[in-house]
Structure 1
Amino acid sequence: MNYLSSVNNQYGGTYVAPEDLPANSAAFEAQLTESLKIWHIQEIKVVWIKIPNARAKLLPFLYQAGFMNHHCAVDFMMLTLRLEDGAMIPPFANHSIGVGGLVINENNQLLTIREKDHIKTHPHNWKFPGGMLEPYEHIEHGVIREVLEETSVQTEFQSFIGFRHHHQGQFNTSNIYAVCLLKPLTLEITIQESEIFDAKWFPIEDYLTDHKIGKYNQNMLRSALQHSGLKNLNVPGYMPSDQDYEVFMTQ
């Protein structure tokens, strides 16, 4: 075969998979040149090529042909080439998702932490335990995991309270920080010493009237006290792909 095998998609693009790459660089260069001619004749709009780390020697040929980096993971690079002026190339993920656990016990106390990174610059930053979602992790599972990791307090998901959206996230991404109401199943605190300076159950009235506490956290707490929030309906097979989705709605 003197051209690259590829699969067309419904958007007028075509995709070359790693398993369809030729065994050596010389063959790849020749097949790429011929394929570009064919794709132009076929009026292909965008070409996508996935290059595993083990085939990184092929990258210079793609760059010379005008391909651009689109996204990558630890074991591959995805490149694209726009063959039609104005053809749409959807951007890769540009948001990160963080979660915060708003945990209130039966004594009207709020579970709070102070992070080691903030203790010198913001010594009174008593905040909700939480952190970043892991890949393919649901919000409900992620917030329960983060609270457990940082404080050892086991919790049960109650509702989604609200979120903050800003454009100053890690690695120049935008960030969504989702706050969830959790019910504590245990009360004893053991901090995650690598990240957390200390943690405590903070009386709610004191938290709401403390002028040193961030207004965002205070407002989220007030919202949780006044409203039930959005429930996770846990709808299995919500989409045709028959996967489990998180669906937050009022009831």
Structure 2
Amino acid sequence: MDLTESRTVADHHDLPGADRLLDIPGVRNARDVGGFSTADGAKVRTGLLYRTGWLAELTPEGAGLFAKLGIRTVFDLRDPAEIERWPDRLHDLDAAAAHHPLLPQNGEDHYGKPLAEAYDVITDTAADTLPALLGRFAEPGTLPAVLHCAVGRDRTGISVAVLLSALGVADRDIVDDYLLSNLGLGVLDGPQEYVDGNGVVRLTDTVGPELITGTLAALRTRYGSVEGFLSEAGLGPDGLARLRDVFLEPA
């Protein structure tokens, strides 16, 4: 998977949040998760969590930029086979590696499934993975951190959407952040090749809002709310309070 070709956001400057994309050499689809306002008037802190594509092609210069951002932890949502085939290249970056596979580790091949079906699989098994992941964010010494999967859109997108929703960010902002991956991956100019976890070359194209809104809707239907999902899955009121203390500041 070649994710190193750079793009200028000026080509699509009218997209919401286009100026949030970061230029990290060897990394695609990078941006700060913070900056959004919440329904109760708070704001998600910047400089704490960054979402990206994989770091298998991170350059020493890119690692130096992450060091300047103070990155302490790299959260990898990929399967063990993906990590073994394309390990993160952190160079001299002094950061801990944390692996939280978001797809079920049941031996089933999920890579060739349509995206909507893959998102349903992740939603069905989210209670086994997402609360533990979000809980780690609130642990002392963990942040600032990088969160990534392969291209930084699907597994990463679902994780970020759940986090932002739990923090009180409006769905319209969550959708805008999710759709920014279309620009971050360069697919607005046509489908791009990538290599899945089995080493198969596939094409990825633009995504619409229905994938992420459908995921949030499924969690809310099943659990009453995203907060209800996290609480029932093990990240109770105290855990949510810690998460909000870490990520939120007065507007």
TM-score normalised by L of structure 1: 0.22
Work out which structure has the larger RCO, using CA pairs closer than 8 Å and 6 or more positions apart in sequence.
2
Higher helix share: 2
Say which structure is richer in strand.
Answer: 1
Structure exhibiting the larger radius of gyration computed from Cα positions: 1
